[in-house]
């Protein structure tokens, strides 16, 4: 995420195609991790471990939210609020 944010605000011209590829790659990783953790959560009896799994799922959701905000911004850079949202969500 930091690299994408730096690419967007950097001096070099933004390569939208590469950025979209990076986003799709990250989304696939997050989706896979989310499915695995959800599966573990469903079969877990320990409250402490369920809490840990919930925390991990929450973190994954925040990354997904940031990625969606970046996608909205790069598809229409007049939507600066989406970029600000991506930054604040990621860095919170």
- Give tens-digit pLDDT for 24-49: 999 999 999 999 999 999 999 999 99
Q: Are 63 and 30 in contact (CB under 8 A)?
A: yes
Whether 9 has a pLDDT exceeding 90, the answer reads no
pLDDT band, very low/low/confident/very high, at 92 (cuts 50, 70, 90): low
For 16, 27, 36, 72, 73, the CA distances from 78, given in Å and listed in that order, are 15, 24, 37, 10, 7
pLDDT band, very low/low/confident/very high, at 54 (cuts 50, 70, 90): very high
Other Cβ atoms within 10 Å of 19 Cβ, number: 17
For 35, 52, 61, the CA distances from 6, given in Å and listed in that order, are 29, 31, 21
């Amino acid at each position: 995420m930091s690299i994408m944010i730096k690419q967007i605000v950097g001096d070099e011209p933004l390569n939208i195609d590469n950025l979209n590829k990076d986003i799709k790659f990250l989304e696939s990783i997050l989706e896979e991790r989310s499915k695995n953790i959800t599966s573990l959560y469903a079969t877990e009896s320990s409250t402490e471990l369920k809490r840990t799994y919930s925390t991990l799922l929450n973190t994954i959701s925040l990354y997904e939210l940031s990625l969606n905000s970046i996608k909205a911004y790069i598809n229409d850079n007049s939507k600066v609020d989406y970029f600000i949202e991506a930054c604040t969500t990621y860095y919170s």
